[in-house]
Amino acid sequence: ATATSAQSPKQQGQSIGVNDIPKKFTDVVPGGQDFTRRVVMIPMRDGVKLNTVIMVPKGAHDAPILLTRTPYNAEERAGNSLSASLLTALPLGDAVFVEAGYIRVYQDVRGKYGSEGDYVMMRPVRGALNPTRVDHVTDAWDTIDWLVKHLPESNGRVGMIGSSYEGFTAAMALLDPHPALKAVVPESPVLDAYMGDDWFHYGAFRNLMLGYVHMQTVQQGPGVVTPSDVYDKYEEFLRAGSTGDYVRSRGLDKLPFVPRMMAHPAYDAFWQGQDLIRLLAARPSSVPTLWEQGLFDQEDMWGANHAWLALKAAGHASNNWLVMGPWSHSQVNGTGYAVGPLKSEGDTSKQYNRDMVLPFLNEHLRGGPPAQLARVSIYNTGDNHWERFQDWPAACEHGCATGLKPLYLNHGFILSFDAPSESQASDTYVSDPAKPVPFLPRPVLDPFFAFGSTYAGYIPWSTWLVHDQRFVDGRPDVLVYETSVLTSPVRVRGTPVADVRAITTGTDGDFVVKIIDVYPPNVPSDPSMGGYEMPIALDIFRGRYRDSFEHPTAIPANEAQRYRFELPNVNHVFKSGHRIMVQIQSTLFPLYDRNPQTFVPNIFDAQAADYRPANITILRSSLQPTAVLLPVVDQ
Ligand code: PG9
């Protein structure tokens, strides 16, 4: 009946005095869901229970299980629990697995979000650095054991996949794989956080990762980056003094992982013992493993490609594959049409997931047809297509059919394949720690402030490795060398090496080397690319480690020294009409900490007076040439 004015407010359903918030309310998904979502606490061997979200497609039987172990909130990673379909519930990167009927599992690592136990940042394997009975090896083993015994819809075969930290936990499982673990896909895994993944690169500390540590370790659940009322991280870190001063002034030394890192600025037993690459190579598993590496990964540029090389060297090439794509960090979980201005042919993330990962998993988890992956699939960022190789690199110093070709610094800031002829030649700049060269145009924001809500992070951060380098090429403390306009293409396929000979007036110092593809001044098909200085490989090297990463030594002031380091992998074509450029500078601030340029025992604790300008002389003579060694190939 319709309400009339003769009815009381109660009769009309308007009565007050009842609680408008019911004791329990459950949202109803119209039409129901095509999956079930179970949240279970899986017991580990030490009694600690790990929070695990299991998404099972309705009607599943004989389905493979795909597991990700995460420090980033399993319940959020497993998507929207109120979606009607599993496809829209799970993250985009999971779409192909949903379509293929996989059971998808996300689990919180111990001590994070819903899991019990203590959280240890990148918990090392049991042994000297981890005296407990458990690590990610045992936790993966116990989880897989439970899953295959408790999921009647499964076929008893499990794969692990994950990017970055999640790639690290996936790779850890390989050290003692459960018999049901049939395939692993570590994506941009953090394997050697000292050499080229998150915490350091060749000994230079990555300041901006401190925000990540804050976010991850201030509490068990979601955290935030270090609160600050300074918008520009460049200004904030510069004003703070040393990185140690920054840490102490903000109380970050009370977060145990921060002082732990600061106590180990060199590549000592602490870092070597955590280097998963050497652990994996010492005990290679026979589990089929597909390693994924972004060519422009602003966070983890080292793990996957070095693991693949080390396993090849250990005689395990036959069960290890490598994919390197045109991606920033974890971009394989989103769309892959472009990284910054570098556009790809189609959605390369989808191509990877659909055409490489899924056939690989289907082969090993479903007994599907052979995936027929090339041993190495790498995107050609010049010709814009995938290329398939049986080995990698194509050109290298030792053991390849083709060697590396030096591209020399020459008189007049010219780069050429001709060796210098002058017996004395050099260029000098002043590196002043009070005015460090920024790695991105200022203001520089905290890269992790948007973490969790989007994989891309904030755009300047996720694409800084392909940022137009014109923003620094006019600085007096950046040396810039260029070839003439290329009249034929130069193809590079491998790992370039920076081979710098230099003199400094200081007793320590960093060297940054960038290999850059300079576009023609006018690009009619894409006008915004006119003159673009596109870095294709760059890195930083801390001079005190030139002879040993474990035992740093002061640089003898005013004496020539050699600094030699590998740059990230390239598969690129410098096209006719382009130029090749090399830039050399001393800082990439505030991403990397400033080198005081005075040798001190621990740079985290450098004093204000230690930070001194130094004259940096880059030698380019016939006896002391400086060059980048390029993996040039004909075809
Ligand atoms: N690169 C992130 C990370 C930071 C520190 C340690 C491990 C991983 C990540 O994306 O997970």
- DSSP string over 396-465: -SSSSSB--EEEEEETTTEEESSPP--SS-EEEEEE-TTSPPBSSSSP---TTTTTTT-TT-SHHHHTGG
Is 50 exceeded by the pLDDT of residue 454?
no
161, 198, 462, best to mutate for ligand 1 pocket (most atoms within 8 Å of CB): 198
Of all protein residues, whose CA lies closest to atom 9 belonging to ligand 1? 164
What is the arithmetic mean of pLDDT over 164-190? 98
172, 190, 205, best to mutate for ligand 1 pocket (most atoms within 8 Å of CB): 190
pLDDT-derived band of residue 500, with 50, 70 and 90 as boundaries? very high
Find out whether the beta carbon of 555 lies less than 6 Å from any atom of ligand 1. Answer: no
What is the arithmetic mean of pLDDT over 559-583? 98
pLDDT-derived band of residue 41, with 50, 70 and 90 as boundaries? very high
What is the arithmetic mean of pLDDT over 61-72? 98
Q: Which residue has tokens 């992956």?
A: 373
Q: What is the DSSP-derived secondary structure letter of residue 509?
A: -
d(CA 629, CA 433): 29
Query: What is the CA(198)–ligand 1 centre distance, in A?
Result: 6
pLDDT of residue 7: 61
Of all protein residues, whose CA lies closest to atom 7 belonging to ligand 1? 165
299, 302, 458, best to mutate for ligand 1 pocket (most atoms within 8 Å of CB): 299
Query: What is the CA(612)–ligand 1 centre distance, in A?
Result: 33
Query: What is the CA(509)–ligand 1 centre distance, in A?
Result: 27
Find out whether the beta carbon of 299 lies less than 6 Å from any atom of ligand 1. Answer: yes
pLDDT-derived band of residue 455, with 50, 70 and 90 as boundaries? very low
Share of the chain above pLDDT 70, in %: 96
pLDDT-derived band of residue 12, with 50, 70 and 90 as boundaries? low
> Per-residue pLDDT tens for 563-573?
999 999 999 99
Instruction: Look at residues 615, 557, 564 and name the one whose alpha carbon lies nearest to residue 586.
Output: 615
Query: What is the CA(171)–ligand 1 centre distance, in A?
Result: 14
Is 90 exceeded by the pLDDT of residue 6?
no
What is the arithmetic mean of pLDDT over 33-61? 97
Is 50 exceeded by the pLDDT of residue 416?
yes
Is 90 exceeded by the pLDDT of residue 450?
no
Is 50 exceeded by the pLDDT of residue 1?
no
Query: What is the CA(367)–ligand 1 centre distance, in A?
Result: 33
What is the arithmetic mean of pLDDT over 383-402? 96
Of all protein residues, whose CA lies closest to atom 8 belonging to ligand 1? 165
Find out whether the beta carbon of 164 lies less than 6 Å from any atom of ligand 1. Answer: yes
CA distances from 452 to 89, 263, 311, 456 (A): 16, 29, 32, 10
Find out whether the beta carbon of 563 lies less than 6 Å from any atom of ligand 1. Answer: no
Q: Which residue has tokens 């400094």?
A: 504
Tell me the pTM: 0.95
pLDDT of residue 106: 98
ipTM: 0.98
pLDDT of residue 292: 98
Find out whether the beta carbon of 198 lies less than 6 Å from any atom of ligand 1. Answer: yes
d(CA 555, CA 552): 9
Instruction: Look at residues 428, 403, 407, 433 and name the one whose alpha carbon lies nearest to residue 419.
Output: 407
> Per-residue pLDDT tens for 109-168?
999 999 999 999 999 999 999 999 999 999 999 999 999 999 999 999 999 999 999 999
Find out whether the beta carbon of 477 lies less than 6 Å from any atom of ligand 1. Answer: no
pLDDT of residue 2: 45
Instruction: Look at residues 142, 41, 35, 146 and name the one whose alpha carbon lies nearest to residue 97.
Output: 35
CA distances from 119 to 24, 53, 221, 546 (A): 33, 19, 11, 35
pLDDT-derived band of residue 341, with 50, 70 and 90 as boundaries? very high
d(CA 285, CA 156): 19
Find out whether the beta carbon of 165 lies less than 6 Å from any atom of ligand 1. Answer: yes
Is 50 exceeded by the pLDDT of residue 404?
yes
Closest ligand 1 atom to the C-alpha of 197? 1
Cβ pair 501, 488 in contact under 8 A: no
Find out whether the beta carbon of 267 lies less than 6 Å from any atom of ligand 1. Answer: no
pLDDT-derived band of residue 284, with 50, 70 and 90 as boundaries? very high
Q: List CB contacts of 596: < 8 A, sequence separation 6 or more.
A: 242, 433, 508, 603, 606, 610, 611, 612
Find out whether the beta carbon of 300 lies less than 6 Å from any atom of ligand 1. Answer: yes
Query: What is the CA(188)–ligand 1 centre distance, in A?
Result: 9
Query: What is the CA(210)–ligand 1 centre distance, in A?
Result: 11
Task: Tell me the three state secondary structure of residue 27.
Answer: coil
pLDDT of residue 453: 43
Find out whether the beta carbon of 187 lies less than 6 Å from any atom of ligand 1. Answer: no
Is 60 exceeded by the pLDDT of residue 451?
no
Find out whether the beta carbon of 610 lies less than 6 Å from any atom of ligand 1. Answer: no
- How many C-beta atoms surround the C-beta of residue 417 within 10 A? 15
Query: What is the CA(212)–ligand 1 centre distance, in A?
Result: 8
Estimate to the nearest angstrom the gap between the alpha carbon of 221 and the chain centroid. 23
